[in-house]
């Protein structure tokens, strides 16, 4: 009698489990995205895909090359860059005396009369930082490493106009500090050849402060 009772209990249970399992599988099948959207089952046209990839590649190339295009915030006057490099190297950058333990910094002085946007200023500051760093690394590697080892400190200041910018650059060079003046290509916001920013240093903070100590923070 006990075996009959067990059979009577197990059979409905087994059937219920099988029915539940089958129902779950059917639900998953019909609810899948490929069933609800037949277009997902259509094989991809490889030629169309490749064409799309080529078009995307051309678009990316155009965007990557637009740094020197009309929409660029960061274009510089190449001829003026060469002249400024020569002017910077006219200073005896190797003669700067310093202790590796003293404070180093690079100061970026923005020409406030141009009223540049934040994005424009950021691009010009990038140019000045790179120009100063590369110039000093070539002329005085030891001083460059001292600044680099301190985390490459930078401070952004502002001056009233182009005339003051030129005076600051001249003062810095008279002290044999690296000074790089950035002239914009004039593709956006400012006129071609505008002196947007001067980078002074990297160098000993005590020395740079004699040139920029009275300027206000940007």
- For residue 196, name the pLDDT band (cuts at 50, 70, 90): very high
Supply the pLDDT for residue 84.
78
Residue 74: per-residue pLDDT: 58
Give the model's confidence band at 14: pLDDT under 50 very low, under 70 low, under 90 confident, else very high. Answer: very low
- Residue 200's pLDDT is 98
Q: What is the mean pLDDT of residues 48-70?
A: 39
Q: How many residues does the chain have?
A: 218
Provide the residue ranges of all domains of the chain, joining segments of one domain with +: 2-67, 75-217
pLDDT value at residue 215: 98
Q: Taking the CA atoms of the chain, what radius of gyration do you get in angstroms?
A: 34
Report yes or no: 195 and 137 within 8 Å, Cβ to Cβ: no
Task: Give 218's DSSP letter.
Answer: -
User: What angle do helix axes 118-139 and 78-89 make, rounded to 10 degrees?
Assistant: 40
Hey, which bits of the chain come out as E strands? 104-111, 154-159, 179-183, 195-204, 216-217
151-182 pLDDT tens trace: 999 999 999 999 999 999 999 999 999 999 99
Mean pLDDT of the chain, nearest integer: 76
The structure tokens listed for 84 are 């400024």
Where residue 150 falls among pLDDT bands split at 50, 70, 90? very high
Distance CA 74, CA 76 (A): 6
pLDDT (tens digit, 9 = 90+) per residue, 86-109?
777 767 899 988 998 999 999 999
Percentage of the residues of the chain whose pLDDT score is greater than 70: 62
Return the higher-pLDDT residue of 59 and 54: 54
Residue 203, pLDDT > 90, answer yes
Separation between Cα atoms, residue 51 and residue 46, nearest integer Å: 9
**For position 35, what pLDDT does the model report?**
43
Q: Which residue has the tokens 């650059």?
A: 169
- Close Cβ partners of 162 (under 8 Å, ≥ 6 residues apart): 111, 113, 194, 195
Q: How far apart are the C-alpha atoms of 109 and 181, rounded to whole Å?
A: 9
DSSP three-state, residue 201: strand
24: pLDDT strictly greater than 50: no
Distance CA 91, CA 213 (A): 21
Local confidence band at 77 (pLDDT 50, 70, 90 cut-offs): low
Q: What was the pLDDT predicted at 118? A: 96
Give the model confidence (pLDDT) of 113-135 as tens digits. 999 999 999 999 999 999 999 99
192: left (phi over 0), alpha (psi -120 to 50) or beta: beta
Q: What is the pLDDT of residue 90?
A: 67
Q: What are φ and ψ of residue 74, in 5° steps?
A: -115, 10
What are the φ and ψ backbone dihedral angles of 196, each rounded to 5 degrees?
A: -90, -35
What is the dihedral sign for C-alpha 147, 140, 168, 114? negative
- pLDDT for 92 equals 86
Phi, psi of 106 (to 5 degrees): -120, 130
Q: How far is CA 162 from the centre of its chain?
A: 27
- Distance of alpha carbon 143 from alpha carbon 141, whole angstroms: 6
CATH 3.40.1490.10 at 75-217, yes or no: yes
């Amino acid at each position: 009698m006990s075996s009959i009772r067990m059979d009577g209990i197990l059979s409905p249970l087994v059937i219920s489990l099988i029915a539940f399992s089958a129902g779950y599988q059917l639900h998953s099948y019909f609810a899948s995205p490929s069933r609800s959207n037949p277009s997902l089952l259509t094989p991809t046209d490889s030629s169309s895909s490749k064409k799309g990839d080529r078009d995307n590649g051309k678009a990316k190339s155009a965007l990557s090359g637009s740094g020197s295009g009309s929409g660029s915030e960061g274009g510089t006057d190449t001829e003026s860059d060469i002249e400024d490099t020569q002017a910077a190297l006219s200073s005896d950058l190797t003669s700067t005396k310093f202790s590796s333990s003293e404070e180093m910094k690079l100061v970026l002085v923005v020409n406030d009369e141009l009223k540049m946007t934040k994005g424009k200023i950021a691009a010009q500051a990038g140019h000045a930082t790179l120009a100063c760093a590369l110039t000093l690394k070539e002329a005085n590697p030891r001083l460059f490493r001292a600044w680099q080892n301190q985390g490459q400190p930078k401070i952004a200041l502002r001056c009233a106009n182009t005339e003051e910018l030129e005076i600051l650059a001249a003062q810095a060079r008279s002290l044999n500090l690296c000074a790089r003046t950035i002239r914009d290509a004039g593709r956006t916001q400012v006129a071609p050849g505008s002196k947007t920013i001067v980078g002074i240093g990297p160098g000993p903070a005590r020395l740079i402060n004699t040139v920029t100590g009275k300027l206000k923070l940007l």
